[in-house]
Structure 1
Amino acid sequence: MIRISFRARLLLLFIGLAGGVLLVTLVAVTFATDKQAELTVERELAVSERVLGELLKRRGEQLEQAAQVLADDFGFREAVASGDQATLVSAMVNHGDRIGTQLMALYSVNGEELASTHQLSPGTDFSLLRGVRLIDGELFQLVTVPVRAPDVIAYATLGFVIDDQLADGLKQLTNTDLTFFDSQGQRALASSLAGPMQRELLEAVSQEQVNQWLTENELAGHLSRFNTVELLVSTSRSDATQAFQTLRTQYLGFGLATLLVALMLAIATARYFSQPLARLTQAADALRRGRYDAPLNLQRKDEFGQLGATFDTMREAISEREQRIVYQLEHDLLTGLPNRESFYKQLNERLAQKQSGVVVVLNIMRFRSLNDRLGQSFGDQVLQQVAQRLRDSFAEGCFIARLASDEFVVLCDSDQAEDIKSSLKALQRTQWRIGEASYRIEFRSGAVRFPEFGAEVDVLLRRGQLAAQLARSEKQLLADYQQGSDESYLRRLQILQALPDAIVNRKLQLHYQPKMDCGTGQVNGAEALIRWQHEQLGVIRPDEFIPLAEQSGDILRVTRWVCQAALDQQQYWLEQGIDIQMAVNLSALDLQADDFAEFIATELRARHLSPTKLTLEVTESAVMADLEKAQKRLKELRELGCKIALDDYGTGYASLAQLKHLPLDKLKLDQSFIRGLDSDANDRIIVQSTLSLAHELKLQTVAEGVEEQAAWRLLRQMGCDTLQGYYFSRPLAAVEFEQWLKNEAPRFTNQNKKAITNE
């Protein structure tokens, strides 16, 4: 792209304005002069035509008078009356010589020639013979008068010849050319044109291209007709417009002179403005490149001087602001430590220089809980003190940065690796005083060496975080990264990436685990449990991908797919005569979705299913995530007619006070209490009290995790309503479930009858 300087643009502006005015004026003058020239040409042609007409008129009057004198001559009339041929000829010749006529003729009233200098066309009405006529190949102006004695006894015709001499004379008067020619264009009868031009004209006439001939010869002309004779009045356009051409030339010269003056003025003005602007541009460019040490100092009293002073002030302010911005970009504003950007830069430099060292990722235990309970201000003070203690605890050569929230990172050389653990222990033993109180703060950290375990910043940081997670799970202060420990992380990442496709393309499956009536041993329901078999990842357990789906938000689509698939299966079973209760699990996010109840209602209506045949199971933790919203959503679902079950009761955070306010129909005892029921007295006490409490609250009870007949017997004695567990069946695919109902389910009914009989 071409860059044009301000000076050049200013010059172009001046020249453009002056040139534009000159051009517009020149166009206007040209248009006006062309129009006036055309009018002048037309005026000359019109004048020439009037002059010719006036000339012919005068000559006609002269001929008329001469002819009348001849016709009134007594001797001439006597000669006509007596038929004296010699007298007639003598009188006509003498009269013609006296007035200078070239044609004289005398005819009787019957058209008989009495005397004539030229042969006229037979059959001519001589009483009307006048005007311009072609006679014997010559062009004449004729007049005819009657000879009376006293009646008309003859007609006398006199004529002046129209020739080149007449045309030349008229040209001298009017500066226009006259050309008389016959209508077929065979020859010119009278013309002021030169011989070659006459021939060109006759050729153009024969081809009916007179206008083209005029244009080619830069002529203007008018064409008129006299009987069988054509008249062309023509004049030179260049001669007629010469004065206007001169005027345009003079104006153009004046305009160019004006343009030259404008150019000189523009150069002077541009120099006056461009010099300070050029210095300002150079200073701005230096500022763009980061040079802030060059003052402008225009030393002018005008607006440019004020602009220069303002620019210098701005330069100083930008320099200070940039220093602050650079610091803020590279440091955490709360703690004053370098930030993630600085850490990446520092570690990349060490990796590029092939240095070795250790990256330690440090997390504050339960920081979010502290922040939520004691306030953000308290959390900020903790972070500030931790940052200061990290500076004090680690060697001077270590690089310390804050990555995010409660996560810090320490970058040390290899020879400082031995001091890291002792520095962390010293930090752990520190008493933390925030305000007026003392607190104990614990840390978990993970260390990864480079370049042994990675030569990229993101890889090292991820592996350091994995080591910190290991330290958290093992309740250690520091854990080293172990080769291959990030495979689970990569697997989780692959699961997250594959889950949306599995939902859309229905690669998930449902298995159904039967629910048994505790008193009769009959099947009264089934719980829909999701399964996923991936082509590359193999079997993915629900406890592996469901938490990831909850983190990513895909759990909403998973739950809705489960509901649709389970209701489709329930509809099919009803059509096959299998009438059982269907149970579906919900997540915390499902209870927060405002349209979930409407979704369930729509799906039930679409399949003509009764809401009372659907049980929606929610965990205590899901309810407690947002108790108010959970109560509202469960109330909507229960009003719809669905049954609500609280799953995994006893392992969450629900209290008895909260339990009585939840719109529940069923209470599911967690399997951790059921598995030791036969051998652990405490479990029996907990289960018995829970069943009694549930029945007092008018809730049905479900015990999951039943794996032995002895547990069934004890639960029947305690009054449990429904059983679920591997003793009866593991979760089965739909076809397998149908076969189990047919082949295995009756066995438990019979077994229960025998057990009751034996008791």
Structure 2
Amino acid sequence: MLRSARNNLDLSQLDQMTTALEASGDVMYEWDLATDSLMWLGRISTLFGLEGKLVPTTGETYHNRINPEDLPSRMRNLTDHFAGEAYYDCEYRVRDGAGNFQWVHDRGAVEVSTSGSPTRLTGVLRPVTIRKQAEARLEYLASYDELSGHFNKLRLRESLDFALEQAIRYDNEGAFLAVGVDHLGMINTAYGFEAGDAVLVEVGERLDKSIRGADIVGRLGGDRFGVIMSVATVEEADAIADRVLQTVRETPFEINDERIYVTVSVGFVLFPEQTKTSFDAFAKAESALLDAKSNGRDCVKPYKLTTEQCENYRTSMVIGEEVKLALKEDRIALAYQPIVDSQTNELVLVEALLRMYDRDGNVVPAGKFIPVVEQLGMIRVIDRRVLELALEDLVRYPHITMAVNISGLTASDRSWLRALTSKVKSRPDLAERLIVEITETAALHDLEESARFVSAVRQLGCKVAIDDFGAGYTTFRHLKTLTVDIIKIDGSFISGIIENEENQIFVRNLLGLAKALNHTTIAEFVETAEEAEFLANEGIDLLQGFYFGKPEIDPDWIIEKNLVDNTVSFPGPKTMVNKCNK
């Protein structure tokens, strides 16, 4: 209460309060609701850049300075607070002396009379314009390319996913165009990177002029843009692509007071006829773009399927329908492969591997249908079912720790993460026994998105493993960014490692990188006692492969371990294990 504060505090205490407010930049106020008068303590003139006589002295004059878009929310907050239903805490914009709007964080408490009527509101205003600008900047960069101002790759992919879903649902056809600036590297070399950036910005602006109103432009990265034509025939896509070529070609670009002519090449793919996922559409459109560049540049090339590809596509459609039916009829299952301690051969965890029963009851390995599932955009549904089955078995077998694989698409699928959260948030006993595996190549495809996913999964209490480690180009920085728990060395470096010295050196280097960050390591594809002994001596923590057991649906060793409280060990001479020095 400013009035009571001034009455009850001596001058030295009031000076101390004023000094504290001035140091923080905050301003304290008291609003007498009966007389509508406002009193201020602190540098209100500095906060709003107002002359002393212009400082609001009534609630009405203060409201006149609040941004009209924000005033209704402030009034609702006040009304709820006066009714005792909520705290008074809100943010809004206030017009300063220069006519610009500044953000403030306003919070306070109302004083009520003996009859329960609100009489006085005392609060504090805190300037938060810099924070709001930073938040707006981060929000902008999450969706838009900083250079061109168009959608970034992530937002473009989300828009393309939506266009694909709509095309499939309503039986429409559309097209995705990949537009590449020709010889951008030469422009960068001859005129500098600033000139190259200027060309990219201008090309983006000319793209906007070339496309239709409903089409979407985004930046794929480097010298490439993407264009989503949600509804388009092959003739319309070809016509727009030609218009893009002409618009870029017909007017020279002004660079460092020089006029140069720039051209672009275009590749496009039709959906859903030729592709059903955004990842696949990006790849096929860029493949067509490479064909255009190889054909002399400044031209358009559609993505075309060969006769063999057409036959494969028809086969894929048949497999896709079989997978849909298997999901409906509950013919999807998990097979388990043991992962053992390298020193004792005792079971540490299991990996859940996807299997499907055909209509005759025969087991179909994942390799027979997963590539098709990914191509047809069904992998999210499959990964959701795998999660359900894995959690059911974690409940059924409380002694096991389980690793499940998910695709790169699912790693950026928020609905899958929400499903995981809803299942394990109230069951920390399940979360601590679940390991989520993502492949190295998928993790590196979008490192920032993967890092966010890994962080979210680990916050739930689960662990995260990088599968096929070594197949990509992971660096020390990448591993620090991802903060995973487990590294699974790619099986191609393990098979035949006894005879292959290069693989031995490579594994030692990979192992050193993983150990530097204190990650648990797993070697896949271990098929002989000699390989197991060698890897144990090198310091690998865990081993997995046919030497210890093939994947099985409901294997006896899981059931037996569940029935009796004993240790399950797998093949491997104890003499060999005893030789290993970890």
Taking structure 2 as the reference length, the TM-score comes to 0.47
Richer in helix (by share): 1
The structure that has the greater radius of gyration is 1
Higher relative contact order (CA 8 A, sep 6+): 2
